[in-house]
Structure 1
Amino acid sequence: MERIDTHCHIVPTGWRKWCEKYGWEKPDGMPVIPKWSSEAHITLMEKLNIKRSILSITSPGTHLKANDFELARQVTRETNDEIAQAHREYPDKFSFFASLPLPDVDGSLQEIDRVRDMPGCCGFALMTNAQGHYLGDDIYGPVFAKLNERPTVIFMHPTECCSIKNPDTEKPLPQYPTPMLEYYFDTTRAVVNLLLTETPTRYSNLTFLVSHCGAALAPLVERVGVFSTSLLKGNAKLSSDALKELLRTRFYFDLAGFPFPDLIHGYLRFGDTSRLLYGSDYPYTPQPLVENLARFMDDNVQELFSEDARAAIYHGNAERLFHF
């Protein structure tokens, strides 16, 4: 069945050099930054019947040196321009999510104006936190207000957890690669913070795309709802039913990573197939594993869902969301 890949990555040559220069040659505990070329990516797309891939960069984003806003602006501009070039070379294959130099608010506002109307731009890829500022924090207000001027998709990509006061502090369990556990926890922190700060309610033109089938959200929605309505002060008083309604109406969820056989059943407790999107996570998930996961996904999706639902998951929902 035809697919649209909403969670896959590009490794721009300039961005790789900047990462290596500032100590990100083994990002988030992974062994290397993988190789990427448009030719190899398109070959994979042809094997898996992917008609379009929405490219983005992954963690650590473009803010590579704590509090160096000028560097972040330069890296962001160069990286977005290189991603846009991939679209210009293959306009019928690649679209992209642009990056922002958060937590630099002024630089982000300038970059939104510069790139949002570039051909191929489908929205913005934001890390779950920027130097400890989680999506939903007050610092994002001007940025979200700017993005909210028109309908905009925000692709939330996990990164390592971070402290605002000590952004270079060693992270929990550093002996394990961050994507193994912490990506899921950081995604969950960011989504909960968005919900409890009422960000989706205040910015009605923003749609949030959550990685990895909602990560660790499903078993925590009831718990967050009880704390929100009974124990928290100064936060939104949202019941578990209200939280689920927001998740069903203001968020989409990709199926990158390992959503089957377990995560999908948690997701279906609060969501349905109209909000699911295909994702490969290539090339950070190597090609042989991407192909194996695609076959495994096919088997599970066929067992769980109708043909119409499968078509929606693989391409229909993305066509509707991005107007392809």
Structure 2
Amino acid sequence: MEKIDTHCHIVPPGWRKWCEEYGWDKPDGMPCIPEWSAEGHIALMDKLGIKRSILSITSPGTLLKVGDFALAKRVTRETNIEISQICRQFPDRFGWFASLPLPDVEGSLEEIDHALEFGASGFAVMTNAQGYYMGDSRYDPVFEKLNQHKAVIFMHPTQCCSLDNPEADKPLAQYPTPMMEYFFDTTRAVVNLLLSGTVTRFENLTFLVSHCGATLPPLVERFSAFSTRMLKSSEEMTSERVKEIFSTRFYFDLAGMPFPDLIHGYLRVGTPERLLYGSDYPYTPGAVVEILNKTMDEQMKELFDQEQLQKIFSGNARELNL
């Protein structure tokens, strides 16, 4: 069955050099930045029946030095241009999510217009930037402008960061951040988007959440109860309301390892109509993507009917014009 991959990555040569220069050659505790080529990516796509891939850069994004907004703006602009040029060579196979130089608000406002002019399908935003999480009020002007464009926002996790000391040791730093912390940081960002009122204030935004909802499913009842009964938040966010928002404003991809267990947690709070296919290539190596796809294909047939499978693999992405 034909697929559209909404969660996969590109490693453009210029961005790789910037990362290596500023100490991100082993990003988030991983052993290296993987190799990537358009031809290699397309070969894997053909093998797995992937018609189109929406490319984005992953963590650390384009903020490579704490507090250096000028550098972040330069890296963001150069990287977005580089990706757009690669995608123009393969317009039928690749789309892309543009990066923003958050937490620089003014720089991000400038970059939104530029990226859309260059054909971006949406925007890839890290769950936090220098410790400021999605939903932070300082980002309101950025979300307001994205809202005007009815933008798709692909949320990608990054490492947890302290506001007081962005360079502090991370929790359980002996393990690669993607192993556990990515899931926790995704949850922090989504909860903050909900409880801050960002999602309801900016009604034209669509959020794509990585990794089948991460650790959100078992926590929905807990954070919503705290919000409404203990914190008495002005934002009425019962668990029923959260699930309603998930089914109207959010999509959740199947990158990572959602089978055999995580998918069942997701289905307690979300619906098949809001699922998207994702491979996480090349940070998940091609050989591993093939194994995970075999498992996915087998187990999804046990959970979903043919019409649902078609929507999950490609139909939902097409509805988002990806």
Equivalent residue number for residue 138 of structure 2: 139
Q: How many equivalent pairs are there?
A: 322
Query: Cα offset for 1:232?
Result: 1.2
* Paired residues for 1:1-324 under 5 Å: 1-119=1-119, 121-234=120-233, 236-322=235-321
Give the direction of change, closer, same or farther, for the CA distance of 1:111–1:218 in structure 2 (3 Å limit).
same
1:111-163 CA-partner distances (Å, limit 9, x unpaired): 001111323x1100000000010000011100000111121100000000001
Whole-angstrom distance in 1 between the partners of 2:2 and 2:87: 20
Give TM-score scaled by structure 2 length.
0.99
Whole-angstrom distance in 2 between the partners of 1:195 and 1:126: 16
8 A Cα contact 2:29 2:177, kept in partner: yes
Q: Identify unmatched segments of 5+ residues in structure 1.
A: none
Whole-angstrom distance in 2 between the partners of 1:187 and 1:13: 27
Whole-angstrom distance in 1 between the partners of 2:236 and 2:227: 5
1:23-75 CA-partner distances (Å, limit 9, x unpaired): 10000000000000001000000000100000000000000000000000000
Q: Identify unmatched segments of 5+ residues in structure 2.
A: none
Whole-angstrom distance in 2 between the partners of 1:178 and 1:199: 27
Whole-angstrom distance in 1 between the partners of 2:218 and 2:117: 39
8 A Cα contact 1:197 1:235, kept in partner: no
My pick for the range that moved more, 236-245 or 308-317, is: 236-245
Opposite residue 108 of structure 1, the aligned amino acid is S
Opposite residue 288 of structure 1, the aligned amino acid is A
Query: Cα offset for 1:270?
Result: 1.4
Whole-angstrom distance in 2 between the partners of 1:122 and 1:64: 24
Whole-angstrom distance in 2 between the partners of 1:138 and 1:59: 22
8 A Cα contact 1:100 1:108, kept in partner: yes
SS in 1 for 2:185: helix
SS in 1 for 2:24: coil
Whole-angstrom distance in 2 between the partners of 1:186 and 1:125: 15
1:201-258 CA-partner distances (Å, limit 9, x unpaired): 1001100000000000000000011101111155523111111111111100000000
Whole-angstrom distance in 1 between the partners of 2:19 and 2:319: 35
SS in 2 for 1:7: strand
SS in 2 for 1:256: coil
My pick for the range that moved more, 235-244 or 47-56, is: 235-244
8 A Cα contact 2:81 2:118, kept in partner: no
Give TM-score scaled by structure 1 length.
0.98
Whole-angstrom distance in 2 between the partners of 1:245 and 1:117: 33
8 A Cα contact 2:256 2:279, kept in partner: yes
Whole-angstrom distance in 2 between the partners of 1:111 and 1:96: 15
Whole-angstrom distance in 1 between the partners of 2:297 and 2:51: 17
Whole-angstrom distance in 1 between the partners of 2:234 and 2:259: 34
Whole-angstrom distance in 2 between the partners of 1:131 and 1:175: 21
1:8-27 CA-partner distances (Å, limit 9, x unpaired): 00001011011011110000
Whole-angstrom distance in 2 between the partners of 1:24 and 1:141: 29
Whole-angstrom distance in 1 between the partners of 2:94 and 2:27: 24
Whole-angstrom distance in 1 between the partners of 2:86 and 2:234: 42
Q: Report the identity percentage.
A: 66
SS in 1 for 2:153: strand
Alignment root-mean-square deviation, CA: 0.9
8 A Cα contact 2:195 2:233, kept in partner: no
Whole-angstrom distance in 2 between the partners of 1:274 and 1:131: 34
Whole-angstrom distance in 1 between the partners of 2:132 and 2:57: 19
Query: Cα offset for 1:271?
Result: 1.1
Query: Cα offset for 1:164?
Result: 1.5
SS in 2 for 1:95: strand
Whole-angstrom distance in 1 between the partners of 2:311 and 2:232: 40
Whole-angstrom distance in 1 between the partners of 2:98 and 2:274: 22
Opposite residue 253 of structure 1, the aligned amino acid is F
SS in 2 for 1:55: strand
1:160-191 CA-partner distances (Å, limit 9, x unpaired): 00011211111000000000000000000000
Whole-angstrom distance in 2 between the partners of 1:198 and 1:67: 27
